[in-house]
Structure formats: structure tokens, C-alpha cells
Amino acid sequence: MSTTNLSLPTGGSVAVRTGIFINNEWRSSSSGESFNIYDPTNNQPLASISHASLQDVDDTVHSAKRAFQTTWGTQIPSSERARIMFKLADLMERDTEKLAALESLNTGKGIRIARGYDVPEAIACLRYYAGLADKTHGQVMDHLGPQALVYTMKQPYPICGQIIPWNYPIMMWAWKVSPALAAGCCVLVKPSELTPLTALALCDLAIEAGLPGGVLNTLPGLGSSTGEAITRHMGVDKISFTGSVSTGRRILVASAETNLKSVSLELGGKSPIIIFPNVDLEEASKWVAMGIWGNSGQDCTAGSRVYIHESVFDIFLEKMCARAKELIVGMPYDEKTNFGPLISKAQQTKVLDYISGAREEGARVVYGGTDRCEYPEGCWVLPTIITDVTTDMRVIKEEIFGPVLCIAPFSSEKQALTLANDSSVGLAAGIFTSDHSQAMRMSANLEAGTVWVNQYALTSNGAPFGGWKSSGWGKDLGMEGIEEYLRVKAVHHNFGSKA
């Protein structure tokens, strides 16, 4: 199977597979089709990737079914699954530099960030779930008399389709693959057609770790074809998807029209951050900057709506403009860069359209709002701050998925809560206050699956993550994450009682 050598801007090259990975074997698409991926710093092609066809999906399902019935699932001790997963994590750690280089090259995020955050977090997630592999269990109910009992068994969904987003490719791979493997599922991974490189690189490490053929399969392709084929396949028992609300709805329709496969969805967000006047505004501004401009704003939990008490509005706005100026906009390979390009020209155009639309609706762009920088060929949009926004504006209502921060004042706790909850989505929210009773009240009443108090955007492998309202259902991470991949069976056992 073909391998492409990608030249690194800092010198040297890194080899990456460009095929389809089925049953621990590399192959080309059965259709012969491929698609290009692009470097977001210059919009030039990086590589040509095989495009998995409907036939490839079907072949993968049959391979995964054989693996589940013979070498994985309940066919081996859960401690053996854990051992293989720990080995895979060790191999990822060994190859951190290669994986970080691919992640940075493919997504445009700074190499320092990919090396110091994305890859280590993926490794930590894999180890967390390896540790849970032998710790899921059912219950025994012995209240039915001396000759009968009921016990429950937690058994894996045999075959799971996992559709990965483009903003954190290796981390989201770990969030989905790790609990599924620990539970005993066989998986069909469809990485984003924009960022497949690290998912493909991990396949050879899976072989080296000793993962049996058919357990981890990777099918690059477009969502409208490969993704659709996976979500509609009658042999797939579960789908886990992270992405847009509109695509999540289509996946639910596909489940309803086929085999009613289980579905978990982590969808869009429009996360509010509420800042009361009794806090250190300097510290709050640091967290807000990280929450909106980390990953160049391409984050489902991006704190894109900031509501600041009117008494300190002007002071806080000045501090956020200062934070924007501190960002080091640059090429991903530069160790100093903390703000890279957006993923694609299409995403750049979308974000710029939101900014121009805000101006037309009467909002005021007080910082940024442009793609003009020293890298004209790439997909940059500079950090942007918008004020004079109203609740009916698109920049307030819709997820932008870019580095655009909207700041508005509030006068009371009640008004702040109303503004924050005025959204069809509810993925995350933030509160900054030194009044802990206030923090408890607000946390209880915010309509979001995750609430951060006096911090923002930090996750823990041990804490569940997932949204309310149109931000989806089901959870990644934590014990809840592995439970998403387990089915409960009740066994009523009669020892000898007669009817």
C-alpha cells in the first residue's frame, strides 16, 4: 500500500500511510477513488488519500464481526484488552514527535501545542480507559428467594462506527476509540476528510501493540459517502459522532431508517461565559482568551459569548484587546506560535462572512475582523472582538467555529442567566465570581452539560463530557464514556423452583 513522505518545514520528512486499514491490512479503495487533503498555511495539497467505498465499509463490517466473535469482545479476558491498550499508549508516547508533526501539519495548530497537549492528552485518555477495561461489572439481586436470583451482565456492542471531527483529530480519536476498545467493541473509525493523518498513523502502532485484525479499522472518506455508508449499515450496532447539529440529525434519521442502532452525539455549542464584577478581571481575561482563541477558535466549547457586568464592561473590553495583541500569530512549525490558521479556505470564508454580517446588522468590530496578515496564502482569520451585539444577531445565535468573541453587558444575575440560556444548544458555560453561593446558583441553573467556575476549557478524562438541548446526547469520557459502549442484559436464574 502506498506511503507518502511529507516534507516538514523544519527539515526532514515524515512517512504516512494513505490507504484504507481493514483487518490489520492496508489496501486501496475498491473504487480506486481518492481525495486530497490540504495544508492550511498555504492551501496547497498535502497528500492524496484513498476514499473508502460502500464495498470497503461492507468488507470492514464482516471483518470486524469475525474479530468480535473470535479474538476480541468477550472472547478474551478484559485484562488482556487492557494490556494491549497500555502497550499502544506506550508506543504513542514513543512516537510523540512524529504524531505531533502530523497533527500540526494537517490541522495548522502550533507544533508546541500538538506536542505538549494534543498527543499527551490522547495518550492519557487511552491509559485511563485501559485501566477501566476490567472494572465494569453487573449486579446480583438475590431477593427472589433461596432458589432464584437475577444478575445483570454488561456486554459490548459488537461493531461501532466512530466519526471523528477535524479540530482535535488525535484527541477525539482517543475519546472515542479508547472506551470502545476497553468495553470490547470492534470499531470502524472514519476520520475527518480534512485531517486523517494521525488516525492513519495510529493503525501501524495498533498492529505493533498486538491488537487483533478486525478490531480497529480506519476508513478515510467523505462524510456524505463513507460516513453515510457507516451510519446506514445494518451490521453496525452503534454510532458515536462529534460534529455539527445538522449532521447529527441526519445520523439519527439513518438510525431510525435502518436497524435503530444506538447513537451518541456530541454536537455544536455556543458557550456563554458570565463575569461578575467581584473577580480579578486580569485573571478572568486570561481564561476567556484561552477559551475563545485556543485552537484558533475552532472548538465546540469555545466561549464565544461573554457577558460582563456593566460596571466593569469597558475595563474588561480593554483587557481582552490586550490579550488579543499578545497572541503570537504564526506558522505551525514555529515553537512560539499559539495562534495558527483555520482548517480550510471554506472555513475562513465562513468566519469572515459572520464578521461582515455582524457589521451589517449594526455590531461593532473593535479588534481584528480580518484575514490580513503576513501569510496571505493561508487560511487565517485574526483574533476578533465584537461588541454592540443583540440577542437576535447571527454572531450571537449561531456557532461560528472561529476566533470571534462577542462581548455584551448585563446588569443583574437574573439577566445574565437569561442571556446565557437563550440558545438552542447547551454544550458548556463558564462563570467567574468570588461569591461561591452565587456560583452554585448559577451552575445549577445554566442549561449546559459542562460548567466551569473561575476557569475555562479544561477537561478531565475522569469527568463526563457532553451537551444538553441540541448539543446532543450521551457522554464522552469518565465512567459514563465506557457505559456508552455497553449493553445491559438481565438474567433471571431459577435454581429449581417449580411453576
The cell for 76 is 478474551
* pTM (two decimals): 0.96
pLDDT tens figures, 201-255: 999 999 999 999 999 999 999 999 999 999 999 999 999 999 999 999 999 999 9
User: Which ranges in 71-118 belong to alpha helices (H)?
Assistant: 78-94, 96-107, 111-113
CATH architecture for segment(s) 3-267+472-488: 3-Layer(aba) Sandwich (3.40)
Which pLDDT score, from 0 to 100, does residue 261 have?
98
pLDDT reported for residue 148:
87
Is residue 483 among the annotated active site residues? no
Cα-flanking dihedrals φ and ψ of residue 9, to 5°? -60, -25
- Please, which pLDDT band fits residue 103 given cuts at 50, 70 and 90? very high
pLDDT per residue as tens digits for the range 393-413: 999 999 999 999 999 999 999
For residues 471-490, give the mean pLDDT.
Answer: 97
Q: Which of 336, 326, 330, 322 is nearest to 374 (CA)?
A: 330
47 pLDDT more than 80: yes
Cα 363 to Cα 375: distance, rounded to the nearest angstrom: 27
Could you tell me the pLDDT band of residue 373, with boundaries at 50, 70 and 90? confident
Q: Could you tell me the pLDDT band of residue 270, with boundaries at 50, 70 and 90?
A: very high
Beta strands in 272-396 (DSSP E): 272-275, 305-309, 364-367, 384-387
- Beta carbons within 8 Å of 30's beta carbon, 6+ residues apart: 53, 55, 56, 59
Strand order in the sheet with 148-156: 140-141, 148-156, 486-494
pLDDT at 282 over 90: yes
pLDDT greater than 90 at residue 56:
yes
Which of 103, 193, 266, 447 is labelled catalytic? 266
- Give residue limits of the domains in the chain: 3-267+472-488, 272-460
What average pLDDT does range 123-138 have in this prediction? 97
Residue that has been written with the C-alpha cell 455584551 in this structure: 408
pLDDT recorded at residue 497: 75
The Cα angle at residue 239 between residues 2 and 92, in degrees rounded to 5 = 45
Q: Hunting for cell 447529527 — which residue is that?
A: 248
pLDDT at 473: 94
For residue 86 the three cell numbers come to: 497500555
Structural domain 272-460, CATH architecture: 3-Layer(aba) Sandwich (3.40)
Q: Is the pLDDT of residue 374 over 90?
A: no
Q: Measure Cα distances from 360 to 225, 353, 355, 356, 408 in Å.
A: 37, 10, 9, 6, 18
Helix (H, G, I), strand (E, B) or coil at 417: helix
Mean pLDDT score across all residues of the chain: 96
Provide mean pLDDT across the span 357-368: 98
pLDDT given for residue 499 in this prediction: 75
**1 — pLDDT class (breaks 50, 70, 90):** low
